[in-house]
Amino acid sequence: AQSVSQHNHHVILSEAASLELGCNYSYGGTVNLFWYVQYPGQHLQLLLKYFSGDPLVKGIKGFEAEFIKSKFSFNLRKPSVQWSDTAEYFCAVNAAYAGNNRKLIWGLGTSLAVNP
C-alpha cells in the first residue's frame, strides 16, 4: 500500500531563513507528486507538482521541490521564507498508471510558522 511520510510536523523559522520540508513515499511504481499549502483560514492550494521530466520542479511563491527517485523523496525547499509563508504544507502522491486509482495519498502535514 502507498504511504507518505512527512518528517517535520512543526517548523518554526525566522524570516529570511531557508526552508526544507521532507517528504518520502512508499510505492514501487511510477508516481505523481504534489505539494499543497493551506494558509490559515483558506482551502488547500496547489504549490507545485511533478509528473515527469526535470526532477527539479519550481512552483509558486519561490518554492521548489526535487524528486529523487532512488530515495523515494520529494522535499520542498525555499531559500528565504517570509512571514506570509506561515501555513500548513502537505505532500501528496498518487500512482501514475494504476488503473482506476487516482486517489491522492497524503502525509500528515507540516505546520510552518515564520516569525517576523
Binding site for other proteins (CB under 8 A): 4, 30, 32, 34, 36, 42-46, 49, 51-52, 90, 92, 96-97, 100-109
Cβ 100 to other proteins shortest distance, Å: 5
Beta carbon nearer to other proteins, 17 or 27: 27
Q: Which residues 6+ apart lie within 8 Å of 65 measured at CB?
A: 23, 33, 35, 48, 50, 56, 57, 59, 74, 75, 76, 77
Decide whether 42 or 115 has the Cβ nearer to other proteins.
42
| Cα 27 to Cα 58, 67, 71, distances in angstroms | 23, 14, 11
User: Of 76 and 92, which has the nearer Cβ to other proteins?
Assistant: 92
* Least CB distance to other proteins at residue 97 (A): 6
Q: CB 98: neighbour CB atoms within 10 A?
A: 14
For the CB of residue 116, give the shortest distance to other proteins in the complex, in Å.
26
C-beta of residue 73 within 8 angstroms of C-beta of residue 5: no
The least distance separating other proteins from the CB of residue 79, rounded to whole angstroms, comes to 25
